[in-house]
Amino acid sequence: MATDVGQHQMWTAQYYPVKYPRQFLTSGSLGTMGFGLPAAIGAALMHPGKRVICVSGDGSILMNIQELATLAELGLDVTVIVLDNGALGMVRQQQELIFAENYSACIFQGPPDLLKVAAGFGIVSVDTAEPGWEKIAFGEKGPRFVRHRIPMEENVYPYVPAGKANVEALRG
């Protein structure tokens, strides 16, 4: 399991059942958006025959979307799951909670169709709204791209504002 940086990273850290060392590849909020896909490609190269999952956001995946070409060319068993909320989710959440909903440069006005982009690289692509998406996403070998739409207003909690102590976390 690999993640990019953002709300999807926090949800994955909170809910993915890590059982073994080196099973969860994440920057721990110290990295940059775009970390997840290259990390997943590296993990797949190190562990051929194992399905690697990359959880990303619609903003994060755009930071290294060209690596879909590498993924397709190598035919790696990586499933990229993008939580698509039409925004830079963590930035939007911070602007909502800390800056009185003064949104700036965080909500996409004309986002690309990520399924078409991934398909353009030759990667099998599916939306979770489609029946049987799980079989398409995880059933066969090779790269896969999954889009899961979530509400833009969905926030991740607990949330510790910058400069605050963990005991001052917002609980939603």
* Highest mean pLDDT (candidates 16-30, 105-119, 153-167): 105-119
- Tens digit of each residue's pLDDT (9 = 90 or more) over 128-166: 999 999 999 999 999 999 999 999 999 999 988 888 999
Pairwise CA distance, residues 60 & 6, whole Å: 8
Paired residues of 149 in beta bridges: 84
pLDDT at residue 162, rounded to an integer: 82
Residue 114 has phi, psi (to 5 degrees) of -65, -30
pLDDT at residue 101, rounded to an integer: 96
Out of 50-59, 79-88, 114-123, 160-169, pick the least confident: 160-169
Out of 7-21, 28-42, 48-62, 74-88, pick the least confident: 28-42
Mean pLDDT along residues 81-106: 96
Task: Enumerate the domain spans of the chain.
Answer: 2-168
Mean pLDDT along residues 87-106: 95
**Of 22, 26, 153, 98, nearest in space to 14 by CA:** 26
Check: CB of residue 35 under 8 Å from CB of residue 28.
Answer: no
Encode burial over 142-152: b for 16+ CB neighbours within 10 A, e otherwise: ebbbbbbebeb
Pairwise CA distance, residues 72 & 74, whole Å: 5
The predicted model scores a pTM of 0.94
Longest pairwise C-alpha distance within the chain: 48
Q: What is the 3-state secondary structure (H, E, C) of the chain?
A: CEECCCHHHHHHHHHCCCCCCCCCECCCCCCCCCCHHHHHHHHHHHCCCCCEEEEEECCCHHHHCCHHHHHHHHCCCEEEEEEECCECHHHHHHHHHCCCCCCCCCECCCCCCHHHHHHHCCCEEEECCCCCHHHHHHCCCCCEEEEEECCCCCCCCCECCCCCCHHHCECC
- Tens digit of each residue's pLDDT (9 = 90 or more) over 27-67: 886 778 999 999 999 999 999 999 999 999 999 999 999 99
- Is the domain 2-168 a CATH 3.40.50.970 member? yes
pLDDT at residue 29, rounded to an integer: 66
Confidence of residue 91 (pLDDT cuts 50, 70, 90): very high
Mean pLDDT along residues 66-90: 97
Q: Please provide the average confidence, as pLDDT, over all residues in the chain.
A: 95
